[in-house]
């Protein structure tokens, strides 16, 4: 019983890590897009 419980806990932990990893990647992409957008906006303003 205890061994089965431990493996379940490990699976739960693994899933949590996976979800956290996906969320971090999405946040990084969003931040990158925002940064590029701001940079492009500033470049456009300077070119006028």
Instruction: Assign 3 to helix, strand or coil.
Output: helix
How far is the C-alpha of 30 from the C-alpha of 18, rounded, in Å? 18
How far is the C-alpha of 45 from the C-alpha of 18, rounded, in Å? 41
State how far the alpha carbon of 40 is from the alpha carbons of 26, 31, 32, in Å: 21, 14, 12
Instruction: Select the more confidently predicted residue: 1 or 25.
Output: 25
How far is the C-alpha of 38 from the C-alpha of 40, rounded, in Å? 5
pLDDT of residue 41: 86
Domain spans in the chain, listed from the N-terminal domain onward: 24-48
pLDDT of residue 30: 95
pTM of the model: 0.59
pLDDT in tens, 27-39: 999 999 999 999 8
């Amino acid at each position: 019983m205890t061994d089965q419980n431990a493996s379940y806990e490990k699976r739960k932990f693994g899933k949590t890590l996976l979800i956290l990893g996906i969320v971090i990647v999405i946040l990084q992409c969003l931040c990158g897009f925002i940064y590029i957008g701001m940079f492009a906006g500033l470049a456009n303003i300077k070119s006028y």
